[in-house]
A = this chain, B = another copy of it.
Amino acid sequence: MQSYTEENYLKTIYHLAEKTINVQTNAIAEQMQTKPASVTDMIKKLADKGLIDYIKYQGVTLTETGKNTAIDIVRKHRLWEVFLVDKLNFKWDEVHDVAEELEHIKSIELIERLDEFLGFPKADPHGDPIPDKNGRFAKTQFIKLIELKVGDSGTITGVSQHSSPFLKHLEKLGLTLGKQIQVSDVTDFDGSVEIRLSDKQVNISREVAKHILISSNGKN
């Protein structure tokens, strides 16, 4: 059994490990809003518990057990987000903080029943995949909107940025999950992308386009 704090460390390490193989002390500290010295203390503890492999000065990697634990927390987090949006009518930019708390409620039965109640969703309100109870992810085929060529079309199925301002911005533009889009133009000058929606045309910056994930319908 892990403490609240240990769970948060594991989750953070898990997410950082998606970018780099060996996760560094400073990276964890920054993510957890704490000091490197505190991280060193905690990673020693997690290593003692067999949840991470740790070589001094070389960063850490999750063990099989550690990874499973982390995935379980991610699962809970995302299921709660679905609950908040689908059942309690929260907006997709409002759910993160509450889900951060809910993810630590430790009842397996609760999560299984919640999963069922929600209809076994495969993705959270931001399009992030929800692992099943065995920790397996449905494999998804995402492409960044920025990578589309003029004429390409697809469906918005995720975002790779979860900040409230970003999500509110998308909402305002009508760029929400499930929307069908087509790239109608790319501006040479600033790389901004013009997008055709069913009912309108919007222009988004390169920066925004980077963080929108599309499940492609292929070329036009």
- Which chain B residues lie closer than 8 Å to A106 at the CB level? 101
Stretch among A61-69, A84-92, A131-139 lining the B interface: A84-92
Interface string of A87-100 (1 = CB under 8 A from B): 11110001001100
A interface size (C-beta, 8 A): 18
Q: Is the interface of A mostly helix, strand, loop or mixed?
A: helix
A164 CB, min distance to chain B CBs, angstroms:
14
A105 contacts B by Cβ under 8 Å: yes
Question: Given the complex, which residues of B lie within 8 Å of A204, measured CB to CB?
Answer: none
Q: In the complex, which residue of chain B has the Cβ closest to the Cβ of A116? A: B88
CB neighbours (8 Å) of A89 from chain B are 113
Q: Are B105 and A88 in contact, CB atoms less than 8 angstroms apart?
A: no
Q: Does A117 contact B (CB under 8 A)?
A: yes
Closest chain B residue to A104, Cβ basis: B101
Instruction: Tell whether A20 is near chain B: CB-to-CB under 8 Å.
Output: no
- Answer yes or no: A197 CB below 8 A from chain B CBs: no
Q: Could you show 13 A-B contacts with beta carbons less than 8 Å apart?
A: A84-B110, A87-B117, A88-B110, A88-B113, A88-B117, A90-B109, A90-B113, A97-B107, A98-B105, A98-B107, A98-B110, A101-B106, A102-B102
